[in-house]
Structure 1
Amino acid sequence: MRWLVLVLVLSPWPAQAAVLAAARTLPAGTIITAADLRAVDGDRPGLSDPSEAIGLQTRITIREGRPLQAALLQAPRLIARNQIHPLTFQRGPLRIVIQVRTLSDGAAGDVIRVMNLESRTSISAVIQPDGSLLATN
């Protein structure tokens, strides 16, 4: 039994990888910057490369010291629900711009439902990287 304890004490422990953790409490919806991150040693899973987190938005409040995981982050929301926003419909030389109410949140590339304020009909729109809305077919 003594040799087992001796073997366990002398055996090298597996190296713990550094993971990224919140440097401060990050409320839901916070866009992650380099100042919001710190490296910690730990056995809990998490992101290890800062480029995987910087520029993303938190889904929930992340307490200080908690390791960051991909499931806690999302692409930044460019459109919020219930906003009045211009929608562009373009086919060849024809271009129509109308005012719509957004029916959900969305990030660049997301297809969301919007409501035409004049006709009260629902339309699908794609959120562009600049935050504008483009009607889909």
Structure 2
Amino acid sequence: MKLLLAILPFLAGQAVAETIVATRSIRPQQLITSEDVRVDPAVVDGAHVSLVEVIGQEARVAIYAGRAVMMGQVGKPALVERNQMVELIFVRGGLQIAAEGRALARAGSGERIRVMNTDSRTVLFGTVESNGTVVVSK
């Protein structure tokens, strides 16, 4: 038992902690590739720890070379751009209504977004679908 307690601090020091770091400056709205990031053996609280979480995502803000890629700095690539015309779909029970709307922000699949119905000028919230339509809720 004493031997195990003596060895534990050395084993704990061998635990591998990794952080994803930008290899070059990444502009906002740029898709992140494997050449843009690398794994660093440092520990940074709030940073991504896996390349799979970052590669293929879109930078939400500028990420500078040599800095850790923090949570919230990357997200799904945008399917809908601000001011883009989108199809609004409202579904309740067996009723389905389609209308034309304007996106009030950028968003990717599965993200909530504010949209304006172009006929009534009503601002609604909706979720962007994988085909670019927005399913709205009141």
Q: When the two structures are superposed, what TM-score results if normalisation uses the length of structure 1?
A: 0.71
In structure 1, what residue type is equivalent to 2:106? D
SS in 2 for 1:21: strand
Q: Which runs of 5+ in 2 are unaligned?
A: 1-12
Distance 1:98 1:60 in 2: 32
In structure 1, what residue type is equivalent to 2:30? T
Aligned length: 125
**Compared CA separation, residues 86 and 65, structure 1 to 2 (3 A):** same
**Compared CA separation, residues 22 and 98, structure 1 to 2 (3 A):** same
SS in 1 for 2:127: strand
Distance 2:113 2:17 in 1: 40
Distance 2:73 2:118 in 1: 35
1:106 equivalent to 2:98? Answer: no
Residues 10-21 of structure 1 aligned to structure 2 (within 5 Å): 17-21=17-21
Residues 50-65 of structure 1 aligned to structure 2 (within 5 Å): 50-65=51-66
In structure 1, what residue type is equivalent to 2:36? D
Q: Which runs of 5+ in 1 are unaligned?
A: 1-13
CA positional deviation for 1:18:
4.3
In structure 2, what residue type is equivalent to 1:49? S
CA positional deviation for 1:69:
1.9
CA deviation map 1:113-132 (0-9, x unaligned): 22221222223322112322
The share of aligned pairs that are identical, in percent, is 30
Distance 1:107 1:92 in 2: 26
Structure 1 segments (4+ residues) deviating >6 Å: none
Backbone CA RMSD of aligned residues: 2.7
1:24 equivalent to 2:20? Answer: no
Distance 2:23 2:78 in 1: 23
**Compared CA separation, residues 24 and 122, structure 1 to 2 (3 A):** same
Q: Which has the larger radius of gyration?
A: 1
The range that moved more, 85-94 or 51-60, is 85-94
In structure 2, what residue type is equivalent to 1:113? R
1:123 equivalent to 2:127? Answer: no
Q: When the two structures are superposed, what TM-score results if normalisation uses the length of structure 2?
A: 0.71
CA deviation map 1:3-58 (0-9, x unaligned): xxxxxxxxxxx668443211221101122222221233445453332112122221
